[in-house]
Amino acid sequence: MAEEALTTGFAIAWPWLLLLAPVPWLLRYLLPASPSGDTQALRVPWFSAVAGGKAGWMRRPLLALMATLVWLLLVLAASRPQWIGEIESLPVTGRDLLLAVDISGSMDTQDMILNKTAVNRLKVVKKVAGEFIQRRHGDRVGLILFGSRAYLQTPLTFDTQTTATLLDESEIGLAGRETAIGDAIGLAVKRLRDDAAADRVLVLLTDGANTSGEVQPLQASGFAARDGLTVYTVGVGADEMMVQDFFGSRVVNPSADLDEDTLRAIADQTGGRYFRARDAESLEKIYAILDELEPVESDVETIRPVDELFYWPMGIAYILALLAAVFSIRPFNLRVLTS
């Protein structure tokens, strides 16, 4: 393998450019000298002071050395010096995984407990699903957020950290207060239809029923099944919740609107599974099961990082050029110019 043949350390990508190094000296000796006779020219009385007398600045050893170094450094920068690192392993599954998360108004229901504190459903989902996303090293992971409408928050990417961050930054009602489950599935099908991944998976999480959108959930799941998209559905919400009203406290079912039959039918139609999450612990177990159903471990590809170093010789050449410009101007030259 050609990549393995490379050795770790310093290398030059375009070494043939180093042949330009002697060009200035070749031109100096090969080109004819400029005529030294009397020619019409602008006469400046203080030219000798600026030019350093009879000897030009190129005949001054220090400045000549600095000019030589500047040219050689520029040639080196143009030849693309690089540092080739050690071979690193990159797990690649060939799987594309989309998460569709409900951010409708009902996700603000505070029927979940997190760290012994009552929180809304979305906050628990952010924590548990965010950890799930970050465990998917080797998968391309994307994020769909849906309410009254569905939109792609994060396209498929290996950058799981960014995907988890964007999930954490999502807000309830950002996509509307209702729930468009069918549109969320339809958007996932559209994004994955032309994808070449071997496995395409959608994990859809909601706490309600389809109340908005242009596509019905079962119709969208039919499209998903036809395109080979596996859909795992998760219904989230507690079965009991204590609320206060005019007559005192009473127990209600905050998940009465959850359409479990439709979520179960979607999963069955696409070869997935339906899960019910009534609290944070059960949601964590569900995502652990999903890790087992769609394991991360698979083939491993190797990469060799290459760092470009051209900016080092270029930067040093710039500094030397500035110093040469400063040293070529003597203090008395300024006095002559202003006298």
CA distances from 89 to 12, 85, 92, 137, 232 (A): 24, 12, 9, 12, 30
d(CA 280, CA 38) in angstroms, rounded, equals 94
- Interhelix angle 217-226/181-192, rounded to 10 degrees, is 20
pLDDT tens readout for residues 182-212: 999 999 999 888 766 667 899 999 998 999 9
- Distant-in-sequence, close-in-space partners of 293: CB < 8 Å, separation ≥ 6: 232, 273
Two structure tokens written together for 24: 């200035």
Two structure tokens written together for 294: 């769609």
d(CA 213, CA 134) in angstroms, rounded, equals 30
Q: If you search the block for the tokens 């087992």, which residue do you land on?
A: 292
Q: Note the pLDDT of residue 60.
A: 72
Write the DSSP symbol of residue 328. T
What mean pLDDT do residues 245-263 have?
78
What mean pLDDT do residues 20-31 have?
86
Question: What structural domains and CATH numbers belong to the chain?
Answer: 2-19+47-85+305-338 (no CATH), 91-299 (3.40.50.410)
pLDDT tens readout for residues 136-175: 877 889 999 999 999 999 999 988 999 999 999 999 988 8
Q: Note the pLDDT of residue 325.
A: 81
Q: Note the pLDDT of residue 155.
A: 92
For 198, half-sphere exposure in the C-beta direction (CA atoms, 13 angstrom radius) is 7
Between 112 and 316, name the one with better pLDDT. 316
pTM above 0.75, yes or no: no
SS3 339: coil
Average pLDDT, the chain: 82
pLDDT tens readout for residues 70-117: 999 999 999 999 988 887 765 555 678 999 999 999 999 888 888 888
Task: Report CA dihedral (35, 41, 44, 49) to the nearest 10 degrees.
Answer: -10
CB 149 within 8 A of CB 307: no
Q: Note the pLDDT of residue 217.
A: 94
- Could you tell me whether strands 9-12 and 95-102 are parallel, antiparallel, or unpaired per DSSP bridges? unpaired
Q: Note the pLDDT of residue 245.
A: 64
Helix (H) or strand (E) holding 288: helix 280-293
- Interhelix angle 217-226/260-270, rounded to 10 degrees, is 10
Write the DSSP symbol of residue 329. S
Q: Note the pLDDT of residue 305.
A: 82
Q: Note the pLDDT of residue 336.
A: 43
Write the DSSP symbol of residue 33. P
What is the rounded end-to-end Cα distance, in angstroms, of the chain?
Answer: 71
- Could you tell me whether strands 140-146 and 150-157 are parallel, antiparallel, or unpaired per DSSP bridges? antiparallel
Q: Note the pLDDT of residue 339.
A: 47
CB 62 within 8 A of CB 325: no
d(CA 260, CA 253) in angstroms, rounded, equals 14
Q: Per-residue pLDDT for 55 more than 90?
A: no
Two structure tokens written together for 260: 């479990």
CA 252 to chain centre: 44
**50, β-bridge pairs:** none
